[in-house]
């Protein structure tokens, strides 16, 4: 009996001390983690909108959308978070679109697990710069192995068609989702 | 997407295209240690699949009915590993009482399953990907099957290797790892199997 | 025990983790994080440091209170203590090294089931005093980290042409993409183990 009491009390004490330690660590770390996440989004938004000075956030149909304003407080476009399935996992991205929702302003890949060197190239400037001033009407399209001929086309990465196509599909779907709701 | 298709996709992805051992490096220790003979591999695989499925179910309930409502997400790792260790303990005791032969066949592997990163990894992914209860169960079964599959293939190859000449320094862990690499390469071929 | 004998014993405990009983190359433990996060040298280093922290803290605590832990509940107690330190390490990384934490992903919490840590508590910290357990933990942790950095450097060099993000090979280098993939991890580690065994055999001869 004494043995059982000793076992239970040791476990309980260790459990309680560990629990207390974790609560402390959590209260220290959580605000920092939230700040990190906000910073990451802020950096992405301002990389897409170099003239942007401030933004306000809202959620439309489960999509996080940000209205970006420049230094003169003029509304210069929307930034939104989009995500979907790529080749190896979920791709998370931040995209910018003009106020009339016709032209894509830019693209930043936030998180992807695509194959490094192949699908992973979607995160490089070489790929994402194609999305600056890209027409989104009727929708974004991609071509393979040729230079894009129309203003709404981008060129897929050689050897990474699936990843490139995933980015295009995710963008189109998200734009469609928010288009009606924001005007 | 209809529910049935999602479930099938989760299963196939966990078992083959994103095999836990060969893509996510989970469950490597038993993979290298318990893959010398096919019977061992089958036994270990079945025991692991069983524990995995149970663990997925129990940890899902604990996470969504206790940790989240009480705002304790940071207790996740401690809670999950305690659940897994307890489950293994319970399964062991249950097997010993109800089916002595099964217990003797699987007996030694059961305690090892606790430290199998695949089980904790399974529960962590399940939370990250926000699977529903049913999806988590299918995920558990699929991951277990994938693990068993990898184990069986590896032990089949190693049984053949027993009669081959392997360079001294590579014997044991070395050659097993290299074979695992070739297997991983082969499984990569399944990569585009599921495309939307 | 005289001071001299203490020091010699400590030295041996420290070195065994580095070479003779290296957790990865000899004991073949802790494979999961070794293969998963060594795509770049920096990630291998970070994982090594996180594991070292958990190993040292757990060994410190457990060997200090070892006389108070009843043997029947020792594994459960070890697990709770280890899980607590792992959670600390994970949240610390998320708060202060956000990008690295994203790359290491779920493999930091998986330190909980890293057989090395539980193994050292069971085999050593539970039975030895604090100073010796500390040296054992540091030795094992460093031995683990060194292999991670070596593996990470090889894979980063061949897979990206850089080490710790310093460009070594220049722009013309054709990257060995396989090094960044699971297959490359397995094969490189396999050869590393083989190389280690080969050196051991030559040294003994």
The ipTM, to two decimals, is: 0.75
What whole-number distance in Å separates Cα of residue A163 and Cα of residue A133?
A: 21
How many residue pairs from chains B and C have C-beta atoms closer than 8 A? 128
In this predicted structure, what is the pLDDT of residue C4? 43
Contact C73 A21 (CB under 8 A): no
Q: For residue A110, is pLDDT > 50?
A: yes
Q: Which residues of C touch B181 (CB under 8 A)?
A: 182-187, 190
Give the model confidence (pLDDT) of C176-186 as tens digits.
877 777 888 88
Using the Cβ of C106 and the Cβ atoms of chain A, whether some distance falls under 8 Å is answered with no
Least Cα separation, residue A26 to chain B (angstroms): 7
Chain A residue closest in CA terms to B82: A15
Q: Which residues of C touch B117 (CB under 8 A)?
A: 32, 110, 113-114
Q: For residue B67, is pLDDT > 90?
A: no
Query: Bigger pLDDT: C14 or A98?
Result: A98
**Of A107-121, B66-80, B129-143, where does mean pLDDT reach its minimum?**
A107-121
Q: Which residues of A touch C91 (CB under 8 A)?
A: 25-26, 28-30, 33
Least Cα separation, residue C197 to chain B (angstroms): 5
Least Cα separation, residue B163 to chain C (angstroms): 19
Q: For residue A91, is pLDDT > 90?
A: no
> Three-state SS across chain A?
CHHHHHHHHHHHHHHHHHHHHHHHHHHHHHHHHHHHHHHHHHHHHHHHCCCEEEEEEEEECCEEEEEEEECCCCEEEEEEEEEEECCCCEEEEEEEECCCCCEEEEEEEEECCCCCCCHHHHHCHHHHHHHCCEECCCCCEEECCCCCCCCCEEECCCCCHHHHHHHHHHHHHHHHHHHHHHC
Chain B residue closest in CA terms to C177: B185
Least Cα separation, residue B23 to chain C (angstroms): 6
Element (H, E) at C162: strand C162-163
Q: For residue B195, is pLDDT > 50?
A: no
Q: For residue B191, is pLDDT > 80?
A: no
Chain C residue closest in CA terms to B128: C106
Least Cα separation, residue B134 to chain C (angstroms): 22
Q: Which residues of C touch B32 (CB under 8 A)?
A: 28, 31
Give the model confidence (pLDDT) of C51-96 as tens digits.
999 999 999 999 888 888 888 778 888 888 999 999 999 999 988 8
In this predicted structure, what is the pLDDT of residue A183? 58
Q: For residue B193, is pLDDT > 50?
A: yes
**Of A63-72, A74-83, B156-165, where does mean pLDDT reach its minimum?**
B156-165
Phi and psi at residue A83, to the nearest 5°: -150, 160
User: Which chains are within 8 Å of C by 3+ CB pairs?
Assistant: A, B
CA C71 to chain centre: 27
Query: Which of B25, B33, B176 shows the shortest C-beta gap to C35?
Result: B25
For chain C, helix, strand, coil in percent to 5 are 80, 0, 20
Using the Cβ of A172 and the Cβ atoms of chain B, whether some distance falls under 8 Å is answered with no
Give the model confidence (pLDDT) of B96-140 as tens digits.
787 777 677 666 667 778 778 888 888 888 888 888 899 999 999
Tokens 């318990």 label which residue? Answer: B34
Out of A84-88, B155-159, C9-13, the most confident range is B155-159
Contact B196 A169 (CB under 8 A): yes
User: Which chains are within 8 Å of A by 3+ CB pairs?
Assistant: B, C
Contact B117 C84 (CB under 8 A): no
Q: Which residues of C touch B177 (CB under 8 A)?
A: 186-187, 189-190, 193
Give the model confidence (pLDDT) of B32-50 as tens digits.
777 677 877 888 888 889 8
Q: For residue A165, is pLDDT > 80?
A: yes
Give the model confidence (pLDDT) of C92-113 as tens digits.
998 888 888 887 877 888 888 8
Using the Cβ of C9 and the Cβ atoms of chain A, whether some distance falls under 8 Å is answered with no
- A114 Cβ contact list (under 8 Å, min separation 6): A86, A87, A88, A89, A91, A120, A122, A160, A163
> Which residues of chain B have a Cβ shorter than 8 Å from any chain C Cβ?
22-29, 32-33, 74-78, 81-82, 85, 114-117, 119-121, 124-125, 128, 167-171, 173-178, 180-182, 184-185, 188
Q: How far is CA C17 from CA A24, C146, C164, in A?
A: 33, 11, 25
Using the Cβ of A156 and the Cβ atoms of chain B, whether some distance falls under 8 Å is answered with no
Nearest to C46 by CA among C86, C95, C93: C93
* Residues C168 and C161: beta-carbon distance below 8 Å: yes
Pairing relationship of beta strands A153-155 and A141-143 according to DSSP bridges: parallel
Contact C180 A116 (CB under 8 A): yes
Contact A14 C81 (CB under 8 A): yes
Identify the residue among A2, A4, A5, A7 best suited for mutation to test binding to C, counting C beta carbons within 10 A and taking the highest.
Answer: A7
- pLDDT category of residue C2 using cuts at 50, 70 and 90: very low
Using the Cβ of C189 and the Cβ atoms of chain B, whether some distance falls under 8 Å is answered with yes
Residue C163, number of CB atoms within 10 A of its CB: 18
Q: For residue B86, is pLDDT > 60?
A: yes
Using the Cβ of C10 and the Cβ atoms of chain B, whether some distance falls under 8 Å is answered with no
The overall average pLDDT reported for chain C is 83
Query: Which of B18, B78, B195 shows the shortest C-beta gap to A18?
Result: B78
What whole-number distance in Å separates Cα of residue C142 and Cα of residue C133?
A: 14
Query: Which of B28, B33, B77 shows the shortest C-beta gap to C32?
Result: B28
In this predicted structure, what is the pLDDT of residue B106? 65
Question: ∠ CA B7-B10-B15 to the nearest 5 degrees?
Answer: 125
In this predicted structure, what is the pLDDT of residue A3? 77
Contact B75 A19 (CB under 8 A): yes
Share of chain A above pLDDT 70, in %: 97
Give the model confidence (pLDDT) of C115-141 as tens digits.
888 888 888 888 888 888 888 899 889
Contact B195 A25 (CB under 8 A): no
In this predicted structure, what is the pLDDT of residue B1? 59
Q: Give me the residue spans of the domains in chain A.
A: 46-182
Region C158-168 average pLDDT: 80
Region A162-180 average pLDDT: 87
Cα dihedral angle (B77, B82, B84, B86), rounded to 10 degrees? -170
* Residues A105 and A48: beta-carbon distance below 8 Å: yes
Q: Which residues of A touch B78 (CB under 8 A)?
A: 18, 22
Chain B residue closest in CA terms to C183: B181
Cα dihedral angle (B52, B54, B57, B63), rounded to 10 degrees? -80
């Amino acid at each position: 009996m004494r043995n059982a009491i000793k076992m239970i009390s040791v476990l309980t004490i260790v459990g309680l001390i560990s629990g207390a330690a974790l609560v402390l660590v959590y209260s220290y770390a959580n605000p920092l983690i939230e700040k990190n996440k906000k910073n990451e989004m802020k950096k992405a938004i301002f990389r897409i909108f170099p003239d942007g000075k401030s933004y306000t956030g809202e959620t439309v149909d489960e999509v996080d959308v940000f209205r970006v304003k420049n230094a003169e407080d003029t509304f210069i476009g929307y930034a939104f978070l989009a995500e979907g399935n790529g080749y190896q996992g979920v791709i998370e991205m931040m995209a910018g679109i003009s106020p009339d929702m016709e032209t894509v302003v830019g693209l930043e890949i936030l998180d992807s697990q695509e194959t490094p060197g192949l699908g992973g190239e979607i995160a490089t400037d070489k790929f994402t710069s194609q999305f600056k001033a890209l027409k989104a009407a009727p929708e974004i399209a991609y071509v393979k192995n040729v230079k894009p001929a129309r203003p709404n086309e981008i060129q897929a990465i050689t050897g990474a068609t699936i990843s490139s196509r995933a980015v295009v599909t995710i963008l189109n779907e998200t734009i469609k989702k928010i288009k009606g709701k924001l005007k | 997407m209809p529910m049935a298709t999602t479930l099938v996709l989760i299963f196939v992805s966990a078992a083959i295209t994103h095999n836990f051992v060969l893509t996510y490096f989970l469950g490597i220790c038993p993979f290298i240690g318990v893959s010398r003979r096919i019977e061992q591999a089958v036994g270990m695989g079945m025991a692991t699949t069983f524990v995995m499925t149970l663990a997925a179910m129990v940890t899902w309930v604990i996470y969504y009915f206790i940790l989240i409502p009480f705002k304790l997400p940071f207790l996740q790792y401690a809670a999950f590993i305690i659940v897994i260790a307890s489950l293994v303990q319970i399964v062991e005791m249950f097997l010993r009482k109800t089916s002595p032969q099964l217990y003797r066949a699987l007996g030694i592997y059961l305690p090892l399953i606790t430290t199998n990163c695949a089980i904790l990894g399974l529960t962590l992914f399940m939370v990250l990907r926000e699977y529903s209860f049913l999806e988590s169960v299918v995920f558990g079964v699929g991951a277990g099957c994938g693990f068993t599959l990898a184990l069986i293939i590896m032990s089949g190859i190693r049984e053949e290797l027993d009669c081959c000449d392997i360079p001294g320094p590579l014997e044991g862990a070395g050659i097993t790892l290299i074979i695992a690499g070739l297997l991983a390469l082969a499984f990569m071929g399944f990569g585009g199997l599921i495309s939307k | 025990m005289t001071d001299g004998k203490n020091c010699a014993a400590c030295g041996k405990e420290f070195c065994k983790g580095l070479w003779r009983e290296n957790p990865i190359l000899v004991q073949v433990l802790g494979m999961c994080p070794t293969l998963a996060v060594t795509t770049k040298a920096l990630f291998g280093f970070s994982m090594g440091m996180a594991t070292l922290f958990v190993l040292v803290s757990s060994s410190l605590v457990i060997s200090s209170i070892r006389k108070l832990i009843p043997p029947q509940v020792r594994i459960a107690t070890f697990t709770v203590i280890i899980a607590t330190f792992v959670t600390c390490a994970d949240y610390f990384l998320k708060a202060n090294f956000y990008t690295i934490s994203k790359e290491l992903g779920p493999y930091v919490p998986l330190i909980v089931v890293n057989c090395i840590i539980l193994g050292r508590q069971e085999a050593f910290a539970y039975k030895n005093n604090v100073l010796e357990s500390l040296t054992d933990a540091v030795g094992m942790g460093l031995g683990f980290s060194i292999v991670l950095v070596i593996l990470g450097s090889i894979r980063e060099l061949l897979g990206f042409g850089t080490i710790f993000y310093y460009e070594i090979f220049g722009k013309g280098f054709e990257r060995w993409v396989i090094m960044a993939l699971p297959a490359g991890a397995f094969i490189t580690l396999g050869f590393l183990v083989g190389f280690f065994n080969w050196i051991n055999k030559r040294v003994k001869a």
